[in-house]
Amino acid sequence: SEEDVVNITVVDRDGIEFAIRGKVGDNVMMLAQNHDVDIEGACEASLACCTCHVYVEDPYFERLDEADMKEEDLLDMAPFLAENSRLSCQIVLRKDLDGMQVRLPVGTRNMRVDTKGQQAQ
Ligand code: FES
């Protein structure tokens, strides 16, 4: 229904803005992929990579639940880490995120990590 609609904007590496109409409960990484944003999401939202790294613009970054330790560990391996970095597959849309803008970093690094967050061979 209309009450569930959450509009967000995703800005890709080339600066192209995707205006995306999502809904409460949507996973931002999957939503972006479904709208043809070139976002990798190598581990398919299983919190085992950092290729879904995005920057979340103010004031929305502060509204998100804090990243858990696993996400923090993965973010530490992401190139171009910033204060407002998050893994987009861990962002689930809520009504108060309507209007959120997320931006893709200029690069990502695809590396496999095991479930303890350590780098695998
Ligand atoms: Fe791998 Fe988000 S897609 S952590």
Strand arrangement of the beta sheet that strand 5-11 belongs to: 17-23, 5-11, 101-103, 53-56, 85-87
Say if pTM beats, i.e. exceeds, 0.95: no
Which atom of ligand 1 is least distant from the CA of 89?
2
Find the 99 Cα to ligand 1 centroid distance in Å.
23
pLDDT one-digit tens code per residue, 60-96:
999 999 999 999 999 999 999 999 999 999 999 999 9
pLDDT one-digit tens code per residue, 24-53:
999 999 999 999 999 999 999 999 999 999
Residue ranges around ligand 1 (CB below 6 Å) = 29, 41-43, 45, 47-49, 51-52, 74, 87, 89
Q: Which of 27, 33, 39, 46 to mutate to test the pocket of ligand 1 (most atoms within 8 A of CB)?
A: 46
User: Using 50, 70 and 90 to split pLDDT, how confident is the model at 3?
Assistant: confident
Q: Which of 52, 76, 85 to mutate to test the pocket of ligand 1 (most atoms within 8 A of CB)?
A: 52
